[in-house]
Amino acid sequence: MGVTEECTDTDCKVLPDFEKEGLDESFRKSTRDSLSNNEKLSADLKSSILQTSTEIEQQANPEVAKVLEELGLRLVEDGYVKWRPDASAHPRNWTSSRKAFDTGLVLLLDLFTTAVSTAGPPVAEIAKFEYGISRVVALVAFGSMYQFGQAFGGVIFPPYSEAFGRKSVYISASLVYCISCIIVGVTPSVAGALVGRFLSGFTSAVPSVIVSGSIEDLFNMRERVWLIYIWACATTGGLLVGPIYGSYIAAIIGWRWVFHIAAIVMAIFTTLLLFIKESRASRLLARRLEILHKRTGLTHLRINNPDHTPSLRTFAKVALRRPVQLFFTDPIVFVVSIMSAVGWALIYLFTQALPVIYHGFGLSRQQSSLLFLAILVGIFFGILPRIYDQGVLKKRFANDSPLHPEDKLIGFAFAAPSLAFGLWWLVLTVPPASNLPWYATIVGLIPIGFATNEFACTLSGYLADTYTIYASSAFAAMSFLRAVLGGLFPLIGEPMYTKVGSNWATVILACMATVFCATPVLFLKFGRRIRQRSKFAKYSLRVNKETQIQDDNVE
């Protein structure tokens, strides 16, 4: 794309509606400047850039060439500065040990904060007596407020991290999360618990949503097969361990210690996060451009920076509105968000439903929480679809064939019927309709665990592959609905299972899961066609090709 071109009709069609319509003229110019050809450059300056590029390329100015090489940069024909494919500073070229430390740390952070989220409902069952409040108020304070906070944080933090970088967001969010846990642990009133849990949820959106963007920063499509799966296991594992953690800590040493321990662990995470590196490639490239300007004096050189935000006002108008518009205008984001949200919220509903179900077997609330371990076992069956995915991608790479995000949806095709099977099995094996022993129900819980984790893994991976460097914005839309349902489902769990009965309440869930079985078929048959018609998907793919050092060859 040359610097003398304007935003052509084709280019403008690729730009999503929120970047073309409803914005003031200054932002439209800024968008075209950063993503296209910098219209504000005069003809003389454009000529100067081209001449400078040619002189450096052809005459090999030793001093400038040395600086470019040291910074891992190169000049392209249009006078723009880009990463060299072998640039060691580019996140995808980092050492394996660096990638392992940074990725492992944020994955553990996500696992722990997710566990603290599902620890809320069990804590509410004990804290309600101390505060003298109803069960519903306690569930709202310790459970729903966390999820509602995460819903709002999930809209704000992802686009912020894309525009201003990941590291500072991780550190500040972890610190505030630590403080919020202290507030909940020491507050003498339920109002303090409400505020503290909302803040915890608000900042938990950082690891919950931004991890997907961090993974995309560091790994290509082939490598993401396993990384997204590991992330899904960490998230789902946190969901399932949380009720056990909350139930037993609250019963043994007091519910406040659930949050005292959380504060201590988060303080450790905050300290460790100081040692991670910024992984947003466009942010790093902008910093290196500043160094290049200072060392060479070639201040007219530019970078193609899709994350450029002229002001906070622009950020608020575009980046914060982007997830909402994606949810309502992009069919992929809409369907994926609903499917993922239901699978996610089902675990939160089970925090209240399983104690009712297994009370019929004579198990206490603490003993019932251990049944989440059966669901946990199911997530490891996701290894089989990952092996298949890896084989498909390996074959396409060997043949230099284009990659399709739909190639990695085979796990989703098995997950939907597995969820339906697991729920129907529970319908037939729990009292009062059955006299079978409690361990017979485990056969149903294991496929439920596989299904909920596969929903998170395959659908998250699909969004990451489809929206590439803007995966976090697509995740924000999904995260919002997921968090809202996660906050509401625990409120209806016990009343539904108590009034309707365990069997009929599960029938409702099983019928819904049965309807979902058609979704993978539709995705596999029509997903590619829908994706290629998505304006934002095309826009993300184009920007990704312009800014990454390695093209994933996605079609």
CATH of the domain at 120: 1.20.1250.20
Give the pLDDT of the chain (555 residues) as one tens digit per residue: 333 333 333 333 333 444 443 334 443 444 444 444 444 433 444 444 444 444 444 344 778 888 888 999 988 877 788 899 999 999 999 999 999 999 999 999 999 999 999 999 999 999 999 999 999 999 999 999 999 999 999 888 877 887 788 999 999 999 999 999 999 999 999 999 999 999 999 999 999 888 888 998 999 878 888 998 999 999 999 999 999 999 999 999 999 999 999 999 999 999 999 999 999 988 899 899 999 999 988 888 888 776 666 667 777 776 677 788 888 888 889 999 999 999 989 999 999 999 999 999 999 989 999 999 999 999 999 999 999 988 888 888 788 777 788 888 999 999 999 999 999 999 999 999 888 999 999 999 999 999 999 998 898 888 888 887 777 778 878 888 999 999 999 999 889 999 999 999 999 999 999 999 999 999 999 988 888 888 888 888 777 776 666 656 566
- Alpha carbon distance 407, 356 (integer Å): 40
Count of domains forming the chain: 2
Task: Please indicate, yes or no, whether residues 171 and 140 belong to a single structural domain of this protein.
Answer: yes
Asked if 475 contacts 333 with a C-beta cutoff of 8 angstroms, the reply is no
What pTM does this model have? 0.82
Residues 194 and 299 in one domain: no
Same domain, 202 and 84: no
Residue ending a domain, choose from 305, 322, 347: 305
DSSP designation for 206: I
Q: How far apart are CA 548 and CA 474, in angstroms?
A: 19
Residue 321 vs residues 268, 326, 328, 491: alpha-carbon distances, Å: 34, 9, 11, 29
Distances (CA, A) of 70 to 90, 279, 526, 548: 13, 19, 47, 19
- Asked if residue 533 belongs to a domain, the reply is yes
pLDDT value, residue 50: 44
Please give the C-alpha separations between residue 301 and each of 296, 306, 371, 403, 535, in angstroms, as whole numbers: 10, 16, 60, 34, 30
Q: Report the SS3 class of residue 504.
A: helix
Q: 213 and 264, same structural domain?
A: yes
Q: Which domain holds residue 204?
A: 95-276+330-547
Any domain includes 62 = yes
Nearest to 440 by CA among 451, 450, 425: 425
CA distance 239 to 234: 9
Residue 80 phi/psi, 5° resolution? -90, 150
Q: Is residue 158, in this structure, part of any structural domain at all?
A: yes
Is the CB of residue 389 less than 8 Å from the CB of residue 489? no
* Residue 422 pLDDT: 97
For residue 435, the tally of other CB atoms under 10 A from its CB is: 8
The answer to the question of residue 527 being in a domain is yes
Residue 261: the pLDDT is 98
Pairing of strands 302-303, 73-75: unpaired
Are residues 171 and 238 both part of a single domain? yes
Contacts of 78 (CB under 8 A, 6+ apart): 1, 2, 3, 37, 49, 50, 53
CB burial string 293-309: b at 16+ within 10 A, e below? eeebebeebbbbbbbbb
- Residue 363 and residue 452 in one domain: yes
Distance in angstroms (rounded) separating the CA atoms of residues 52 and 55? 5
Peptide bond preceding 432: is omega within 30 degrees of 0, i.e. cis?
yes
- Say whether both 122 and 68 belong to one domain: no
* Cβ atoms within 10 Å of 188's Cβ, excluding its own: 9
Q: Within this chain, do residues 154 and 240 fall inside the same structural domain, yes or no?
A: yes
- 83 shares its domain with 99: no
DSSP β-bridge partners for residue 75: 81
Residue 215 neighbours by CB distance under 10 Å: 24
Give CA–CA dist 134/73, Å, rounded: 62
- Residues 42, 103, single domain; the answer is no
440 and 417 both lie in a single domain: yes
Distance of CA 196 to the CA centre of its chain: 23
Let me know if residue 72 belongs to a domain: yes
- Decide if 240 contacts 375 (C-beta within 8 A): yes
Q: Is residue 552 a part of any domain in this protein?
A: no
Tell me: do 45 and 141 sit in the same domain. no
In a 3-state reduction of DSSP, which class is residue 75? Answer: strand
Give the residue from 305, 320, 355 where a domain finishes.
Answer: 305
